[in-house]
Structures are given as structure tokens and as C-alpha cells.
Structure 1
Amino acid sequence: MRIQEIIEGKKEWRAHVARVKALPKDYQIVYKEIQKYLFKVGPVELTNGIGLLSGIIDLFEEGAFLGKGVLEVTGSDVAAFCDDLIKDSKTYADIYQESVDKKVNEAIKKVTIKTK
């Protein structure tokens, strides 16, 4: 990664954080929880920029503008809201599960071959 790309990434992140801080307090709280959730669940796209997170801010800005409460936008089950956002995305959990399945299958094949 070039220095210029790092600088641009930092500028983009600072602008992103400023948008979050401009949201009403209830939206900020829910956004931060969504961000934590997504970082733990690990959709692979999050490592390639902040597109998904910016889309959430767009949605939140629109909801706040319309005078809606944040849970009117996300629904009362915020984790389900997040899961729905990433339902078609590959996550690090998926990659880990595939890795575990592969290792188990390889181990079973080795045991099967030895017992024959």
C-alpha cells in the first residue's frame, strides 16, 4: 500500500467518523453497536473499505431527517438487522468453518486409509 493510499484512507475514515458524530445520540449508540457486531462477525468486505458502514450511515441520516427513532429504522432486533445486511456476504466465520470442515475431512480420510 502506498503512502498516498494510506493518507486517503485516513481522510475517508475521519469523514466517516464525523458523519457518525453528527447523528442523533440514539443513532450513534446503535451505529457503534452495529460496527462492533460487524467487526466480530467479520464480513470480508469490511476489510476492503467502509462501503457497508457508509451505507448504514446514509440510512441513519435519512431516518433521522424523517424524524424516526433509530429502532424504527433497524427494527428492535439490531443483530438480525445486521445479519440481513450481510446475508449474501462471505464472512470470516464462513472461511473458518470451511477450514475446520476441510481439516476434519482430511483427518477422517487418513484414519480410513490406515484402517483399510
Structure 2
Amino acid sequence: MTFLEKITGSDMTKEMKGFETRAKILPAEYQITWKEITSNLWIHGDFTGRNLLPIFESVLELLEVTSADAQSVEEVLGDDIEGFCAALVGDDGAKTYRDKWRDQLNKNVARKLGGQK
């Protein structure tokens, strides 16, 4: 990253456009969820928003993998997208949601390993 890119934020613009391109390939349900997640996460950004880029990358990878496994968004993230985003950035009150999400994830993994559908 050059000094000019860092000052203007053009590096972030390129990366976000890449994320949006990847998100357009997802099924419609996942695209809607991606937009909701990005809008909820931006409020947690620092002055530049660079702290959120790794989180966006991870969330998009999660959505890509789960859509390839033909899971529904609710099955993976639950009903509370705002709570999911708060858990990602470590906001106050997120611990209880994180525990709920961890339990849900453990159930999904156990179901997959057990061969149940």
C-alpha cells in the first residue's frame, strides 16, 4: 500500500469492490444478508474503517462456504444479524449472543458429523 493509497483510501475502495463482486455471486438470500451485515458493521469502524476489512473478508468467506453447503442464512447466523455483528466486533452485551451462536454452530457441526439432515 502506497502513501497515496493510504491517505485517499483507494486501497479500501478496491477491496470493498472485490467483496461486492464476490457477494453478487451468492444466492439472493445471502446477498440481502451481506448488505445487512455490512451496514451493521460500518458503525463499528474506526476513523478509516480499515479495522473492518478482515472482518468483512471472514464473513464473506463464511457466507460463501455455507451457501455452497446449501444451508439457509438463519441456520448459520440465526435471526439476529445485529447481534451477530456485535459479537464479531466484541461490543457490550455480545457475550450472550456469542454463546448462543457458538451453541448453534456446535449443533450444526454435530448434526453434520452425525450424518443427520
Q: TM-score range by the shorter chain?
A: 0.5 to 0.7
Root mean square deviation of aligned Cα: 2.5
User: Aligned partners of 1:58 and 1:64: how far apart in 2?
Assistant: 10
> How far, CA to CA, are the matches of 2:48 and 2:31 in structure 1?
19
Does the alignment pair 1:55 with 2:63?
no
TM-score (norm 2): 0.63
Rounded Cα–Cα distance in structure 2 between residues aligned with 1:45 and 1:2: 17
Please report how far the alpha carbon of residue 56 of structure 1 lies from its aligned counterpart in structure 2 after TM superposition.
0.4
Which structure is richer in relative contact order (CA contacts within 8 A, separation 6 or more)? 1
The verdict on how the C-alpha distance between 1:45 and 1:65 changes in structure 2, with shifts beyond 3 A counting, is farther
Q: Deviations over 1:36-82 (max 9, x none)?
A: 11123x24397115111111000000100100011111111111111
For the residues of structure 2 that align with 1:44 and 1:67, how far apart are their CA atoms? 34
Report matched runs for 1:1-116 at 5 Å: 2-5=3-6, 6-40=9-43, 42-44=44-46, 47-48=49-50, 50-87=53-90
**Cα distance in 2 between the residues matched to 1:45 and 1:28:** 26
Runs of 4+ in 1 over 6 A off after TM superposition: none
Per the alignment, do residues 45 and 21 of structure 1 end up closer, same or farther by CA in structure 2, a change over 3 Å counting?
farther
Instruction: Give SS of 1:79's match.
Output: helix
Aligned length: 88
Q: Percent identity?
A: 27
Q: What 5-or-longer segments of structure 1 have no aligned partner?
A: 90-116
Larger Rg: 1
Runs of 5+ unmatched residues, structure 2: 93-117
Please say if residues 74 and 81 of structure 1, whose CA atoms lie closer than 8 Å, have aligned partners that are also in contact.
yes
Tell me which protein shows more helix as a share of its residues: 1
